[in-house]
Amino acid sequence: MNRKEIKTDPIFVKIVRIKDIKILIRVSTRARVPVTVNVLLTAIVLLTSFRNPWGTGREPHLTNLQQLTFGGDNAEAYFSFDGRSLVFQSNNPAWGLGCDQIFTMEIKEASDNAAYTPTMVSTGDGRTTCSYYLPDGNIIYASTHASGRKCPEVPHVEGKYLWPVYDAYDIYLADKNGKILKKLTDAPCYDAEATVSPTGDKIVFTSTRSGDLELWTMNLDGSDKRQVTSDLGYDGGAFFSPDGKQLVFRASRPKSAAEIREYKDLLSQGVVAPTNMELYVCNVDGSDLRQVTRLGNANWAPFFHPSGKKIIFSSNYKTGGYNFQLYMIELDGTGLIPLTSESAFNAFPIFSPDGKKLVFSSNRNNGGTHDTNVFIADWTE
């Protein structure tokens, strides 16, 4: 698929403000059913009679919430260094996608604009994941496209929720137009989940090159690869602290003989079961490793608060299952507070470079579908 030929159905978007509540009413131009003013007003009255779908009353740290994508699964949206753009992955079927590809968006143009079409910067082949901006505006992301144009199959084990960790994933450097400039990893193993230090000098990523899913660092050009973690379990989803000196990540730590056997067996099949993970912090070289959460269930998608003293993350520790909410916690594991309460899934929180905005993915406002979209909000302490 040519990235310049992505089409979307024409959509009219009308934004109605009632007592500072912003409601998006989307009507496809292909619909043949007449929509009268009375119907629209009735819909508005019904919506405002119940709790605010944007959650401003129950999520006091998130204000001026705006939706940035509309349809499909959209996740891992990360800011450019100037804070004006996002790079993210999507499988939106309206764009002709069979599996995740990498896109960029201009935040100002995309805000509450269902007609906005982002720019695809991956090749359109294979499956991609985990993109991130470099200081110069170039982009890194992981992709399987070198091993084939088709979306790789997702391994299945009956009765288990699993994530694939394809050996075909490698990390690529591309310019803002999608031209691949360099292949940063080239080993017969899983290399993905790369993020960039705010100081603009290092990349952290997850790799199985040592035989287990461990954290590694490298320079922006792919040189000087160094292993950071070494304990058995899935170490991944790492981010740098604001000063670039520490890493926060989520990890599984199988302990019993049965847990270790299952973990190794699943990994040999190219999958992991991300149902029991806690958050850890360490120095960039792996020293001073310490566990932050002891909540149980799945605690993941951590990101440092702008102060560097707290972590924001997603967790289902209260209920298990698919009910993921955002929380914030001190580095010493104290002071846990909830940040979201709307919808059953909220994850991938990231602060803007100036610390004034928070972007995250959520299945709120999806019309009863399973769509997960990207949202941006002003951050209020």
pLDDT band at residue 160 using 50, 70 and 90 as cut-offs:
confident
- Across 32-36, 89-93, 126-130, 148-152, least confident range: 32-36
Alpha carbons 163 and 84: distance in angstroms, whole number: 31
Percent of the residues in the chain that have a pLDDT greater than 70, as a whole number: 85
Alpha carbons 286 and 216: distance in angstroms, whole number: 9
Asked whether 318 and 327 are in contact (CB, 8 A), the reply is no
pLDDT band at residue 39 using 50, 70 and 90 as cut-offs:
very low
Res 21: pLDDT: 34
Query: What is the three-state SS of 243-254?
Result: CCCEEEEEECCC
Res 203: pLDDT: 98
pLDDT at 369 over 80: yes
81-134 pLDDT tens trace: 999 999 999 999 999 998 999 999 999 999 999 999 999 999 999 999 999 999
Q: Please report whether residue 12 resides in a domain.
A: no
| pTM of the predicted protein model | 0.85
Cα separations in angstroms, 305 against 197, 310, 381: 14, 5, 11
pLDDT band at residue 3 using 50, 70 and 90 as cut-offs:
very low
pLDDT band at residue 158 using 50, 70 and 90 as cut-offs:
confident
pLDDT band at residue 343 using 50, 70 and 90 as cut-offs:
confident
- Across 38-42, 147-151, 238-242, least confident range: 38-42
Alpha carbons 303 and 248: distance in angstroms, whole number: 7
β-bridge pairing 226-227 and 246-251? unpaired
pLDDT at 24 over 70: no
Q: Please report whether residue 26 resides in a domain.
A: no
Asked whether 117 and 8 are in contact (CB, 8 A), the reply is yes
Asked whether 198 and 239 are in contact (CB, 8 A), the reply is no
The phi and psi torsions of 94 (rounded to 5 degrees) equal: -65, -15
Q: Please report whether residue 191 resides in a domain.
A: yes
Q: Please report whether residue 28 resides in a domain.
A: no
The whole-number average pLDDT for the span 243-266 is 97
Segments forming the whole domain that contains residue 107: 63-379
Q: Please report whether residue 14 resides in a domain.
A: no
211-229 pLDDT tens trace: 999 999 999 999 999 999 9
Instruction: Please count the structural domains in the chain.
Output: 1
**Could you tell me the strand order of the sheet in which 290-291 lies?**
235-240, 246-251, 278-283, 290-291
Rg (CA), the chain: 21
CATH at 160: 2.120.10.30
Q: Please report whether residue 57 resides in a domain.
A: no
